[in-house]
Amino acid sequence: MAALQLVGIEQLFTPACKHSLQSFKPARRMRRKLVESNARSEQETHHAGTASAHSADPAGGGFDLSSKASPLALVVMRGFTIRLLISPPLLDATYRLMIRFFLVFLGVLAALFTFEISKFGETYFVLPFTDVLAQISAWLIKLFDSDVQSYGKIIQSTANGFAVSIERGCNGIEAVIILVAALAAFPSTWTQKLFGFAFGFVAIQALNLVRIISLFYMGQWSMIWFEWFHLYLWQALIIIDALVVWLLWLRWISRRPPVNAPAVA
C-alpha cells in the first residue's frame, strides 16, 4: 500500500504536471491488480498442499513461497514490476519535486510578506488598497443604510458615532499572498496561475467585504461578540477560503488537457 501511495504522489509531482494535474486512476488500477493477484495466489497456495510450505529446496538451491508469503513477493512471482514503484530514481524525483514545491512556496511567501511590511509596499500598495476597500464597504452599506460614511481606512456610523478601522490583517492581503505562493509553487502554466489568482482574489475579497460589514454592525451591538468574531472566527474563515480556492483550482487544472497533448482523430 505504501508503494501505491507513492504512485499517487508521483502523479501529482511528475514533470508532466507542469501543464496539467494527472488523475489517480493508474494507482487505483494497480491496486485492484495487486488485490486480485494476492487473492489468486492465496487460493493456489491453499490447494498446493503441504509441499509448498517449505521455504527452500535443499537440492536445487531455489525457494518456494508459502501461503504466509508477503503480498509483494507474491506479486513479484506474478510478474508485476514492483521495482518500478519503489525504485530509488522514482523516489528521488518525487522528493525533489516536493522539495521544490515547498521551497518555491516559502520563497514567494517570504518575498511577498517582506514587500507588504516594507515602507514602499505600505505607502504605495497596502494603504491605497485598504482605503478603496473601506470605500467599497461603505458604498455597499449605503445600499440599505444611509447613516454611514468613510474616510481613509475608517468606516463610521453617523447615527451613533461608532467606527471601525481596517488595519493590517483585516484587508485580506495576507490570505491573497498565501494563495499566490501556492499557485506559483505548483507546476502549471502561467495562464492557469493567472486564472487562479483572479478567481481567488475575487473570492477572498468578496468574503472579506462580508466580514467588514458584519463586524461594523456587530460592534454596535456587542463588543464582546465583535472581538470574538474579529479575532477568531473571521480570521480562520478567510484562510479557509484561500485554501478552498486553491483546492478548486487544483481540481480544475487536473481536468484540463496538457498543452502538448496529441490531437484525437
Low-confidence winner among 50-54, 108-112, 219-223 (lowest mean pLDDT) = 50-54
Supply the pTM of this predicted model: 0.64
**Which of residues 83 and 34 earns the better pLDDT score?**
34
Q: What is the pLDDT of residue 72?
A: 46
Low-confidence winner among 134-138, 149-153, 175-179, 252-256 (lowest mean pLDDT) = 252-256
Q: Note the pLDDT tens digit of each residue in 195-232.
A: 999 999 999 999 999 999 999 999 999 888 888 888 88
Q: Note the pLDDT tens digit of each residue in 84-98.
A: 444 555 556 777 888
Task: Give how far Cα 130 sits from Cα of 33, 188, 202, 204, 265, Å.
Answer: 57, 31, 15, 14, 52
Q: Is the pLDDT of residue 246 over 70?
A: yes
> Using CA atoms, how far apart are residues 13 and 24, in angstroms rounded to an integer?
12
DSSP designation for 52:
G
Q: What is the pLDDT of residue 146?
A: 87
> Using CA atoms, how far apart are residues 132 and 252, in angstroms rounded to an integer?
31
**Which of residues 119 and 21 earns the better pLDDT score?**
119
* Percent of the chain surpassing pLDDT 90: 43
Q: Helices (H), strands (E): how many in the chain?
A: 11, 3
CB 188 within 8 A of CB 258: no
**Which of residues 99 and 38 earns the better pLDDT score?**
99
Arithmetic mean of pLDDT over the chain: 75
99-121 average pLDDT score: 94
DSSP designation for 57:
-
Matching residue, cell 462580508: 210
Q: What is the pLDDT of residue 47?
A: 56
Q: Is the pLDDT of residue 236 over 80?
A: yes
